[in-house]
Amino acid sequence: MSKVAVVTGSAGGLGRGIAEKLCSNGFSVVLHDINEDLLNKTVEELKGKNFDVIGVKGDVSKREDQFNLVKEAVDKFGHLDVFVNNAGIDAVTPFLLIKEDELNRLFRINVNGVVFGTQAAAEQFIRQNTKGKIINACSIAGHEAYAMLGTYSATKHAVRSFTHSAAKELAKHQITVNAYCPGIAKTKMWDRIDEEMVKYSDDLKPGEAFEKFSSEIALQRYQTPEDVANLVDFLASDASDYITGQAILTDGGLVYR
């Protein structure tokens, strides 16, 4: 019987990379996204590679969507082994200009989404009476707060905190809760961050905010989805069974903890 994983926000970017890696290691994977067109396209592409996948549209900030996602996974594949809370959004704003709407939007998706996903997956693992793995998208910004990324950094610090508290409470059920903390990966997210940072800067041209952040990376290259997927794949495997409550950096040498 193959293992079953759910990856939220996996129509593109790091989530797609994670889904593909788990598929290539024999998982059946439920892809999930709020962007239905891209989700359908990605599901078809992965089916074309003979991967065992389905797509479920949903919004991680809606508790009922997260519980429905787990239900759809179990209805299709019979059980659940791994739940990756990957979906997240960004905002670039000078501190004095941060508005209530930005705070609410980012916290609803990046934080509430992780809490609801964790609750839905944990309830299923407890019902199944099996071990289970919950893996959350944190960031270097969950260890270090960045200028212009105040709201985003705060949400990722909250993800790290919820990773710790959920790990402590769920350990008695043999459920582990860990987080991956990527650095600078060239996805749509960083395209948006670069565009916004350049707008607020007097001297940066398009692409230069990304280059500036990347130039600090000790291993001298920006991150690929595969780099991130390699860590998540480990956290999803039995090899990580004795690890819980950790927010592990994968950033090529940028933030040292």
Ligand X SMILES: NC(=O)C1=CN([C@@H]2O[C@H](COP(=O)(O)OP(=O)(O)OC[C@H]3O[C@@H](n4cnc5c(N)ncnc54)[C@H](O)[C@@H]3O)[C@@H](O)[C@H]2O)C=CC1
Contact between 224 and ligand CC(=O)C(C)=O per CB under 6 A: no
Min dist CB 9 to ligand X, Å, is 3
Give the angle subtended at the CA of 23 by the CAs of 19 and 26, to the nearest 5°: 150
Interface of this chain with ligand X, residues 4 to 43, rule: CB under 6 A: 8-9, 11-15, 33-35
Residue tagged 């749509």 (tokens) = 188
| Partner interacting with residue 146 (select from ligand CC(=O)C(C)=O, ligand X, none; CB below 5-8 Å by kind) | ligand CC(=O)C(C)=O
Contact between 121 and ligand CC(=O)C(C)=O per CB under 6 A: no
Q: Which is nearer to ligand CC(=O)C(C)=O, 41 or 105 (CB)?
A: 105
Amino acid at 2: S
Query: What residues act catalytically?
Result: 152, 156
Q: Which long-range contacts (CB under 8 A, 24 or more apart) does 168-174 make?
A: 168/245, 170/122, 170/134, 171/244, 173/122, 173/125, 173/126, 173/131, 173/132, 174/130, 174/131, 174/132
Binding mask 75-104 for ligand X (x = CB under 6 A): -----------xxxx---------------
**Half-sphere exposure at residue 57, Cβ-oriented, CA atoms within 13 angstroms:** 8
Partners of residue 179 on adjacent β-strands: 136, 247
Binding site for ligand CC(=O)C(C)=O (CB under 6 A): 90, 139-141, 146, 149, 184, 189, 193
